[in-house]
Structure 1
Amino acid sequence: MNMIANRIADTYLQVRGAGKTYPSKHGSVVALSDINLDVRLGQFNSIVGPSGCGKSTLLKCIAGLENITSGNITVSGKPLIGPPDRMGVVFQRDVLLDWRTILDNVLLQAEFLGHPREQYRDRAMQLLERFGLKGYEKRHPWELSGGMRQRASICRALLCDPDLLLMDEPFGALDAMTRDDLNVELARIWQGTNKTVIFITHSISEAVFLADRVVMMSRGPGRIVDMFDVDLPRPRPLSVRETDPFGVYAQRIRHHFAELGVLHE
């Protein structure tokens, strides 16, 4: 535990008083209100909340893909202006290009950043092997299952070894067994690196299993209503979800959302 505590001691990302308002013909829509969040270097944060609470909007703002309308965001002490350096993003949909092979889809990240493809070819192949896609590098996305496609999209996000990994419900559309498998592999990847991760999910169990800290959001408008550290030893086998300590964390989230009228107990 001391090694983990030392690794995540430094603040990497700060969100202060952030708000996001969208104009519409029926009046302004407040998507986010007074968001305050400190993310430590190397920390795995899960953000959980109901549909429409602004989780994805917050992630897009942190990614520099949307501008906040109030407050500020800093990364490594610098104001966020556009996408931060050394960032990888995984969306709920894999957004692979069907006319490119799986290897070429993974290498697209290097091309996008202006790096030579061949410089990253070996790393791409290593990532594909690690995520169970060895032998599929010359296939096209339409030849793969949904789970395999999402594995490829994670490889693409990891290709250039980002410091910050943003994941917007990446496993939401997958079957339960594939989702469990990718949860375990993502946890292994995180433990072997110093990546700072922000992971959006609707799943309470997934949020607790993966995270150092769980951030809870509620709608009307989107706001943070609670956050807490998850003190469960790592590595975490899937069986940890059947233990009493895990159940206490999960029940805390359910109870809080029930009090807000989001869930029924």
Structure 2
Amino acid sequence: MDGSFQVSDAATPYVQINAVGKVYASPRGDVVALEDINLDIRPGEFVSIVGPSGCGKSTLFKCLAGLEPVTSGAMHVAGGPLSGPPESLGMVFQRDVLLDWRTILDNVLLQAEFRNLPKAKYRDRAAQLLQRFGLGGFEKMYPWELSGGMRQRASICRALLCDPDMLLMDEPFGALDAMTRDDLNLELTRIWQGSEKTVLFITHSIAEAVYLSDRVVMMSRSPGEIVDVIDIDLPRPRPLSIRETPEFGAYTQKIRHHFAELGILKE
């Protein structure tokens, strides 16, 4: 296996990851986090990354967000080499990282402040996003007054405020209850299908990856490398009930079986 997973159509990829490696220095010696990562992602594609803890998924995201330099190889975003945080990027983390001393509306508007954009210009959009994600009427409340699911909704609104071309989502629903997770999966797919955003999504849930994605990227144990990319050929829009179909089950079983062959999961 050459570890190369390029797109097959003629469209110029929005994201190009070429032979990327990442090594961390430590007192006990170098730690190889990523090794020979090759991946092209189409404009507007939804790609999920699954793999065991410690396989380098979050490291890959940090490099793609321009927060960590790569040790070897290169990354390109929107046709240009990546040398810092991409201009049009939104990020959602596993923790909502809201500021407890700011209202929910002001937390969402923080994205505009970071970019030195006029808050007044984005206030209406922030309110509209909060309404869309079921937070209408909570604008003046503080994060500590909201549930975990509501806080995470607010963090997604913050990432979407400036209408980014690319969203990086690092296991954003992992700490939520099943019903809230399902609800946010539905809302995320509606947002994505109504836009042209390129989405990279980290999850430990194989079923969630299959439900959300056009392609599922499988990563091995450390040092992290891509072992397969699975195309998900299921019709859109996808109701939650699609998870009960034989076709959906065949995809989850295929991914689970592959991980079992690698010794990562037990069957």
TM normalised by structure 2 equals 0.96
CA contact (8 A) 1:166 1:199 kept: yes
Which residues of structure 1 form unaligned runs of 5+? Answer: 1-6
Distance 2:220 2:26 in 1: 22
Any idea what SS the aligned residue of 1:119 has?
Answer: helix
Cα separation, 1, equivalents of 2:11 and 2:242: 25
SS at match of 2:112: helix
Matching residue of 1:102 = 104
Question: In the comparison of the two structures, how many residue pairs are matched?
Answer: 260
Q: Are the aligned partners of 1:169 and 1:202 in contact in 2 as well (CA < 8 Å)?
A: yes
Candidates 21, 24, 30, aligned match of 1:22: 24
Unpaired stretches in structure 2, ≥5 consecutive residues: 1-8
Give 1:1-265 correspondences, 5 Å limit: 9-265=11-267
Contact 1:15–1:74 at 8 Å: present in 2 too?
yes
> Match of 1:3?
none
Give structure 1 regions of 4+ aligned residues with deviation exceeding 6 angstroms.
none
CA contact (8 A) 1:257 1:263 kept: yes
1: CA distance, partners of 2:240 / 2:186: 7
* Distance (Å, rounded) in 2 between the aligned partners of 1:237 and 1:218: 30
1:59-101 C-alpha deviation (Å, 9 max, x unpaired): 1110101111000000122110110011000000000000000
Contact map agreement 2:56 2:222 (CA 8 A) in 1: no
SS in 2 for 1:11: coil
RMSD of the alignment, in Å?
Answer: 1.3
CA contact (8 A) 1:53 1:220 kept: yes
SS of corresponding position for 2:48: strand
SS at match of 1:262: coil
- How much does 1:9 deviate? 4.0
- 2:3 counterpart residue number: none
Secondary structure of the residue that 1:65 maps to in structure 2?
coil
How far apart in 2 are the matches of 1:105 and 1:245?
A: 41
In 2, are the aligned partners of 1:8 and 1:43 still within 8 Å (CA)? Answer: no
Deviation at 1:10, TM superposition (A): 3.6
Q: Distance in 1 between matches of 2:78 and 2:126?
A: 27
TM-score, normalising length from structure 1? 0.96
| Identity value in percent | 74
Matches of 1:75 and 1:8, distance apart in 2: 17
TM-aligned CA deviation for residue 8 of structure 1? 9.9
CA contact (8 A) 1:8 1:42 kept: no
